[in-house]
Chain A
């Protein structure tokens, strides 16, 4: 039976998490703005932010390894990393929000005695939590590798807190359903596997999307800088270089692609059990296939001469557009066997 009291607690936790995400977003945005101003000031002294982060990074490396080479020892001592109080506040609030969010997901799961991804609302709830946790893991790893310079991943904070908040708002507005038992069609351990992998894939694609957007913006910014007309948003100057963002986006999208592959496979196995055929071009199957092919295009493009970097990035954006389409449009408007997902 449904524990309605616990389900209510879950909603309460969710609202608190959203408030905390919002405050975190504001703090992160303030940090970016501050970083931009500082970079501008540095620029006045003949440094661009990009150079600054590179040299800081090299400096940090030199300290980490006992083996500074002849070429790197000529570099200046690393500039002291900027004190980023707003970013620290943002991160603290983000951690709090993620804890509340986790509590919300757990209480939801306990209230219905099953995994919390039985309908679109729960998918969004859990998926955005995975995005948030993924960001925190990235932060923790960056911290271990040594904060300061280009390795500080907190620049991503704004671009993670924002989408997470947006997702939760949309889910509450559009897809909210009360905690309930599963319909028989979904009552299978394949729900646990298939949908969880789909959540991971979507979350990674989301993070990859954020990184790609930053990469494209930063590329444009750099072009402007190179042509001497630096007039873009100041906060951009606090971000890593395009090549580094491209690397980050690639890793996220690559893991995401493997997850999409497993989503397809697990989905096909489940379809064989539930509908007696593992592939029948149901509209949801079609769109997951399209997502997969578009991301395959992206990976190919990276290895194709004339397509790497910038143009490939657009393909990954297209891939993410397909992810959104599959979730928001296909689920709701396209008839098919998946449409009992309980909007």
Chain B
């Protein structure tokens, strides 16, 4: 028990750093940012795996040791409990008055009749009861010491084996839960996809923007499905002043093709209503705007046309995005790479310092603000690049001819002419996009079942009292009018209601007031027992 306690405490302590440091599995970009900021400490922190605490060697060591200790602890208890379940209640102790609860009084009726009453009462209260009459060999404890002329009947009763059963179910279910979690991480896979209204994708590994899978996941197993985003339905609070701009509805209307026959099915994916494709779940993890941008280069060639997703950075959807054009041609025919970087503001206003910002998350006054770069986009370097960032190290910002950086500002339908005849940029319209998260986590049902089993076992083990009750009845059998009764109780663990239980047993027995005559009835034991 002491080892278990220690390891449990260690587990609690070990879980803390994972909430203090950014975690790779939760938010990789914050980890990268943290490492960049904390130059000297970061390598040490990385060495101690604080950026993935819950898969680190030391955290795993703690919980594995805990579970080894748990199994080592619980298995012997399962065996002992199995034996206890099938054995009779323990025989009556000699001296009942030493037990935590003890009553002694005179009852009306013959000893056997009283014993029958007690027996029935205990049975009705879910006790297992053994009744020993003077003839029984098993009644030797205590009974043998009474004077031979007065028979002694004893009842031994026990209830609450469910307490230990519950405890064992609880601990074993934790093992099951751990296995289910492990299976989940080994066999799971997930992919993320950003989809603009009107676009579609197929649910295969290369179809995703990013894809990760567990060590034993079979990616070929991905269920074949195609998904088309018809419309992203979004609304924000516009009435209540203090809640202005709070999100009120995010819903993606999609067409889902999940069966081999190619039947399309309309689905509405909302934040708390994912879609299901077999065991795979598709959920809506984000949304934003994708201005449709057309770019003609200096030669008049249309080199980019289509929606460009801008990632929201604030609750008012100030969004950032880039356009990369590696194969533009200048008016004079020389090839040139163009890069645009800027923000999209769905409801543009000016902040107090005069900077354009978005004042509301919905489309009120959409404005696209971008700077233009030329030079080397760095696409040929072989290093994979994010489509949402522009690497400006080998780019030159285009100026407006008077030494100031050129900045274009567009509303839907407007066109900007770039300086030096580099071309034109048009924002044709604004679409919305949905970020979808597709994930399969096998073993989740098993995890839920084990967790519920654990909870049920826990409740039994905490709230079912394990009690033993004994009664010893001294008096003539058959026609006698009264007898002497002793009732005593004992609990395993803390049990504040034991006294009530013993009182209930006593209350079931008809009593008589003690008289001088009754006091002559022999007590089964000498009263003077050393305490």
Closest to B17 in A: A286
Closest to B441 in A: A277
Closest to A258 in B: B459
Is there contact, CB below 8 Å, between A71 and B97?
Answer: yes
Interface string of A64-99 (1 = CB under 8 A from B): 111111110000000000000000000000000000
A64 and B499 alpha carbons, distance in the complex (Å): 12
Q: Is B23 an interface residue (CB 8 A)?
A: yes
Q: Is B28 an interface residue (CB 8 A)?
A: no
Is there contact, CB below 8 Å, between B242 and A265?
Answer: no
Q: Is B375 an interface residue (CB 8 A)?
A: no
Is there contact, CB below 8 Å, between B103 and A275?
Answer: no
Q: Given the complex, which residues of B lie within 8 Å of A65, measured CB to CB? A: 503, 506-507
The residue from A69, A250, A336 contacting B104, defined by CB atoms under 8 A apart: A69
Q: Which of B135-143, B245-253, B362-370, B401-409 is the interface stretch? A: B245-253
Q: Which of A11-19, A28-36, A166-174, A287-295 is the interface stretch? A: A287-295
A269 and B462 alpha carbons, distance in the complex (Å): 24
Q: Given the complex, which residues of A lie within 8 Å of B254, measured CB to CB? A: none
Is there contact, CB below 8 Å, between A300 and B8?
Answer: yes
Q: Which of A38-46, A47-55, A215-223, A301-309 is the interface stretch? A: A301-309
Q: Given the complex, which residues of B lie within 8 Å of A2, measured CB to CB? A: 240
Q: Determine how close the nearest CB of chain B comes to the CB of A283; give it in whole angstroms.
A: 4
Q: Is B18 an interface residue (CB 8 A)?
A: yes
The residue from B53, B240, B459 contacting A178, defined by CB atoms under 8 A apart: B240
A-B contacts, CB under 8 A, total: 161
Q: Which of A120-128, A179-187, A228-236 is the interface stretch? A: A179-187
Interface string of B259-289 (1 = CB under 8 A from A): 0000000000011111000000101010000
Q: Is A268 an interface residue (CB 8 A)?
A: yes
Is there contact, CB below 8 Å, between A68 and B15?
Answer: no
Q: Given the complex, which residues of A lie within 8 Å of B105, measured CB to CB? A: 67-69
Given contacts A180-B240, A180-B242, A286-B18, contact A61 B272 (CB under 8 A): no
Q: Is B88 an interface residue (CB 8 A)?
A: no
Interface string of A248-278 (1 = CB under 8 A from B): 0011001101100110110011001111111
Q: Determine how close the nearest CB of chain B comes to the CB of A243; give it in whole angstroms.
A: 9
Q: Given the complex, which residues of A lie within 8 Å of B181, measured CB to CB? A: 279
Given contacts A180-B246, A280-B26, contact A289 B272 (CB under 8 A): no
The residue from B18, B54, B247 contacting A184, defined by CB atoms under 8 A apart: B247
Is there contact, CB below 8 Å, between B507 and A184?
Answer: no
Is there contact, CB below 8 Å, between B451 and A268?
Answer: yes
A183 and B234 alpha carbons, distance in the complex (Å): 12
Q: Given the complex, which residues of A lie within 8 Å of B247, measured CB to CB? A: 183-185
Is there contact, CB below 8 Å, between A66 and B511?
Answer: yes
Q: Given the complex, which residues of B lie within 8 Å of A66, measured CB to CB? A: 506-507, 511
Q: Determine how close the nearest CB of chain B comes to the CB of A274; give it in whole angstroms.
A: 5
Q: Determine how close the nearest CB of chain B comes to the CB of A320; give it in whole angstroms.
A: 14
Closest to B66 in A: A293
Closest to A57 in B: B499
Q: Given the complex, which residues of B lie within 8 Å of A70, measured CB to CB? A: 104
Q: Which of B4, B12, B248, B509 has the most CB of A within 10 A?
A: B12
Q: Is B243 an interface residue (CB 8 A)?
A: yes
Is there contact, CB below 8 Å, between B2 and A278?
Answer: no
A309 and B305 alpha carbons, distance in the complex (Å): 73
Is there contact, CB below 8 Å, between A183 and B246?
Answer: yes
Q: Is B149 an interface residue (CB 8 A)?
A: no
Q: Given the complex, which residues of A lie within 8 Å of B16, measured CB to CB? A: 286, 290
Interface residues of B, CB < 8 Å — how many? Answer: 67
Q: Given the complex, which residues of B lie within 8 Å of A181, measured CB to CB? A: 237, 240, 243, 246, 248
A65 and B511 alpha carbons, distance in the complex (Å): 11
Is there contact, CB below 8 Å, between A61 and B283?
Answer: no
Given contacts A184-B249, A265-B448, A286-B19, contact A304 B2 (CB under 8 A): yes
Is there contact, CB below 8 Å, between B439 and A276?
Answer: yes
Is there contact, CB below 8 Å, between A296 and B8?
Answer: yes
Is there contact, CB below 8 Å, between B448 and A289?
Answer: no
Given contacts A67-B105, A178-B242, A247-B494, contact A184 B248 (CB under 8 A): yes
Q: Given the complex, which residues of B lie within 8 Å of A188, measured CB to CB? A: 272
A302 and B305 alpha carbons, distance in the complex (Å): 70
Q: Determine how close the nearest CB of chain B comes to the CB of A151; give it in whole angstroms.
A: 11
Q: Determine how close the nearest CB of chain B comes to the CB of A329; give it in whole angstroms.
A: 10
Given contacts A69-B103, A265-B452, A274-B271, contact A293 B12 (CB under 8 A): yes
Q: Determine how close the nearest CB of chain A comes to the CB of B372; give it in whole angstroms.
A: 34
The residue from A68, A251, A265 contacting B451, defined by CB atoms under 8 A apart: A265
Q: Determine how close the nearest CB of chain B comes to the CB of A276; give it in whole angstroms.
A: 4
The residue from B8, B30, B494 contacting A293, defined by CB atoms under 8 A apart: B8
Q: Is A190 an interface residue (CB 8 A)?
A: yes
The residue from A184, A258, A289, A335 contacting B250, defined by CB atoms under 8 A apart: A184
Q: Given the complex, which residues of B lie within 8 Å of A254, measured CB to CB? A: 462-463
Closest to B488 in A: A69
Closest to A250 in B: B494
Given contacts A1-B239, A178-B242, contact A185 B272 (CB under 8 A): yes
A261 and B462 alpha carbons, distance in the complex (Å): 13
A188 and B8 alpha carbons, distance in the complex (Å): 34
Q: Is A297 an interface residue (CB 8 A)?
A: yes
Q: Is B385 an interface residue (CB 8 A)?
A: no
Apart from A187-B272, A286-B15, A304-B1, 19 more pairs, CB < 8 Å = A61-B503, A69-B102, A180-B237, A184-B248, A184-B250, A184-B271, A185-B272, A251-B496, A258-B455, A261-B454, A262-B455, A264-B451, A265-B451, A272-B281, A276-B437, A278-B441, A281-B25, A293-B11, A336-B26
7 contacts between A and B (CB under 8 A): A184-B270, A185-B272, A187-B271, A254-B463, A286-B18, A304-B2, A306-B2
B residues adjacent to A (C-beta < 8 A): 1-2, 4-5, 8-9, 11-12, 15-16, 18-19, 23, 25-27, 30, 53-54, 97, 102-105, 181, 190, 237, 239-240, 242-243, 246-250, 270-274, 281, 283, 285, 437, 439, 441, 444, 447-448, 451-452, 454-455, 458-459, 462-463, 493-494, 496, 499, 503, 506-507, 509, 511
